[in-house]
Amino acid sequence: MRVKLSKEARQDIDRQIAYLTGKTISGIVTFRDIVKRAQRPLASQPHAGQSDTRIPIRGAMRIIVDGWYFDYDIIGGEVWVLRITSSVNTPSLKYDDDFDYEVPSRSTNEGSD
C-alpha cells in the first residue's frame, strides 16, 4: 500500500527536525531513518499495527519504531500517517509514591500474636 503523511504528521516531523537542528546532525539522520523504517511495515503489513483505546485518534492504529509512535489509518486503500510522537512525551502510569515505604500501623499488627 502507498503510505502518505497527513499535514499533522508532516508538522510533527518538521518540529522534531527543528528541535534537533543545531544540536545534533546524527540525531536528524537517525530520526529520518526511523521515519523511513516505519514506512516499510506500514506499506507491506498495514493491518499489523496495534489498535488500542490509548491511541488519541479514534479508529487509528499504531506501530512503534525505536520509541516513536506512528498513529495511522487506512483510508481509500492508502495508509495515512496521522501523527508521529515520541514515547518520551507520553505520560507514564500513575503510581503511589510511598507504596514501598509504608510502615504497617500498630492496629494492623494488634491481635496477631
Q: Is residue 20 part of a domain?
A: yes
How many domains does the structure of the chain reveal? 1
Q: Is residue 95 part of a domain?
A: no
- Residue closest to 20 by CA, chosen among 7, 29, 11: 29
Q: Is residue 57 part of a domain?
A: yes
Q: Is residue 99 part of a domain?
A: no
Whole-number Å distance between alpha carbons of 65 and 87: 10
Residue 111 pLDDT class (50, 70, 90 cuts) = low
What Cα–Cα distance (Å) separates residue 110 from each residue in 20, 99, 102, 113? 60, 21, 17, 7
pLDDT digits (tens, 9 = 90+) for 58-85: 668 888 899 899 989 888 899 999 999 8
Q: Is residue 7 part of a domain?
A: yes
Phi, psi for 49 (deg, rounded to 5):
-65, 160
Strand ordering across the sheet containing 2-5: 2-5, 78-86, 68-75, 61-65
At 43, which CATH number?
Answer: 3.30.2310.20
Residue 34 pLDDT class (50, 70, 90 cuts) = very high
Q: Is residue 105 part of a domain?
A: no
Which residue range is the domain that position 58 belongs to?
A: 2-89
Contacts of 67 (CB under 8 A, 6+ apart): 86, 87, 88
Residue 24 pLDDT class (50, 70, 90 cuts) = confident
Q: Is residue 103 part of a domain?
A: no
Number of residues in the chain: 113
pLDDT of residue 17: 93
Q: Is residue 108 part of a domain?
A: no
The C-alpha cell that represents 71 in the structure block: 498513529
